[in-house]
Each structure stands twice: as structure tokens, then as C-alpha cells.
Amino acid sequence: MSTKNNSVREQPDIQKPLLLFKNLKTDLDKLKSQVNNLKKVKLSSKLLSGINLKKGDVVDVKQLEFTGSRLSQSLKNTRAKEVSDKLHKYPGDSKSRLDLVEMFLQEAENRSLENARDAFLLAMLEVETPMISTQKINMALAAQTLYLTKLQKYIQDDLSETESKIKGGGNVDAILKKQEERLQGEVDFLQKCVVLLKTEPIASVYELNLNKSKAEKTIPFGDLKNGFDPMLRRLV
């Protein structure tokens, strides 16, 4: 296990896979806070046109950000950095964020566990907005499956390595045995997550603006199923 990248091993989902969803929610909330804080800055100053970099501001390509800057650095698509820069200027640009996620999905097989996690959280950031759509949900589902599968494989590799050490030694090391049991439990958990959460893509193409529900107590089932355009007052 020592041969693996230390920075990757320090990720909370690897340290404590059983707290996977709590960790993901924490980071998703951070992304939402980043965007919300920038919206407040925009509203407080009429001098701003979009959100521009302040003098001295630098995009952190080593941290998870709403711009997807870290992910863009790893993608082979030549447009990735351009899209990330656009998101820094316009945090609410859903199309650009989805473009970045789509770029990852096209390269997913050769991208890292960290890349998959970033793409999944960026997709979920879009699902969390009032305007949801088939495209956003299907992208989030695809990114989720890829991330969980890559995470399961990462932990499985650790388990296989530990099992090899146990079989290769004369006496069974109590620490290794305990580590094996822990890793096996984590692999089983992730395997079940992959199976239980894997869902067929939504076939119906629609968009639904949840802001419409602010003046109503419930959203009609037909709106949820087929999509609703509150501006046109008709199903789409």
C-alpha cells in the first residue's frame, strides 16, 4: 500500500470509506458556499460584471473548487482549462460546468480517483440548483457510478496486497489480520453501494425549475415526471 500516492491516500473517502456520503456532503456544501459567497459579492457591487478575478487572486489547482480547476488540469481535452476559467468568471454557468463533467466522462477510463470524485461533486453541484434536468441527473448518475467503482477498486487493491502479505508470512500478523478484516468490510460496503445506487439513465428529456414551487405547497407529479417550463406554463 505504500507505493500509492500519499496525497490520494489522505483523502477522507479512503481513510474512512464507511463515512463516504458524509464526506461527500461536506465537500458539496463547501462548493455551494463558494458559489453563494461569490453571488453575494456580485450583488454587493454594481461595478462587477460577472465575477472577475480580483488583483492577486489565483485559481488553486490543488484544491476542489466550483471552477473544476483541479479536474481541468488533468483532462486531455484542450478546452478544459478554458471552460474552467469561464466558470471562475461566471460561477453560475451550468453549461460550462456540465461541459467539464462531460469531458471527464469521455476520458473516465484513464482518469484518476480524484478526478472522478471532482467530476461527481461538480455534477451534484448542478443537481442541487433549482433548475434540474435529465442531462444533469444522468451525468451525476454516471459520475457517481464511476467514482464508486474506482474507489472500490482502490480499496480492493489494498485488500489484495494485505492478503498477499498474510499468505507470504509464516506467522499470521495480528495487525495485518485486523487490517484485512477492516478492508474486506469496506470493500463489501462499496460493492453494495455500486449495486444499490446504479440506476438506468432517465429516458425522458426534460427540465424542471423548482423555483416554481416556492408559491405552491407541492409540485404536481406530472411536472416531476415530464418536466415543466414555468415561463411557458406548459409541459416540455
Asked if residue 224 is part of any domain, the answer here is no
Q: Residue 218 falls within a domain, yes or no?
A: no
Q: Which three cell numbers stand for residue 34?
A: 463558494
Residue 52 pLDDT exceeds 60: no
Rounded-to-integer distance, Cα 167 and Cα 139, Å = 42
CB 140 within 8 A of CB 120: yes
User: E-assigned strands of the chain?
Assistant: 131-133, 207-209, 228-229, 234-235
Residues whose CB falls within 8 Å of the CB of residue 113, separated by 6 or more in sequence, listed in order: 8, 11, 147, 150, 151, 154
Burial 146-160 (b: 16+ CB within 10 A, else e): bbbbbbbebbbebbe
Weakest-pLDDT range from 50-64, 89-103, 145-159: 50-64
Within a domain: residue 50? yes
Residue 184 lies in a domain: yes
Whether 3 is in a domain gets the answer no
Query: Which range has the worst mean pLDDT, 9-18, 34-43, 177-186, 222-231?
Result: 222-231
pLDDT value of residue 10? 87
The per-residue pLDDT for 208 is 85
Kindly tell me if the per-residue pLDDT of 24 is higher than 60.
yes
142-179 tens-digit pLDDT: 999 999 999 999 999 999 999 998 887 666 788 999 99
Q: Which range scores top for mean pLDDT: 3-17, 50-64, 121-135?
A: 121-135
What's the predicted TM-score (pTM) here?
0.82
Q: What does the block give as the cell for 229?
A: 417550463
pLDDT of residue 166: 87
**Which triple of cell numbers denotes residue 141?**
448518475
Give the residue-averaged pLDDT of 199-218. 78
- C-alpha 213/C-alpha 130 separation (Å) is 10
Does any domain span residue 230?
A: no
Quickly tell me which residue has 462548493 as its cell.
31
Evaluate whether residue 4 is within a structural domain: no
Residue 207 falls in which region: left (phi positive, over 0), alpha (psi -120 to 50) or beta:
beta
Q: Which of 24-38, 77-91, 212-226 has the lowest mean pLDDT?
A: 212-226
Mean pLDDT lowest among 56-60, 102-106, 142-146, 203-207: 56-60
Q: Is the pLDDT of residue 44 over 90?
A: no
- Does any domain span residue 19? yes
Domain that holds residue 176: 13-203
pLDDT at 209 (0 to 100)? 84
- pLDDT value at 48 more than 60: no
Q: Which of 95, 134, 90, 114 is nearest to 27 (CA)?
A: 114
User: What percent of the chain is predicted at pLDDT more than 70?
Assistant: 77
Task: Report pLDDT digits (tens) over 111-124.
Answer: 999 999 999 999 99
Rounded Cα distance between 54 and 85, Å, is 14
Number of domains in the chain: 1
Reported as a pLDDT band with limits 50, 70 and 90, residue 230 is: very low
Q: Which 8-state DSSP code applies to residue 202?
A: P
Burial class (CB in 10 A: 0-12, 13-18, 19+), 74: middle
pLDDT at 1: 53
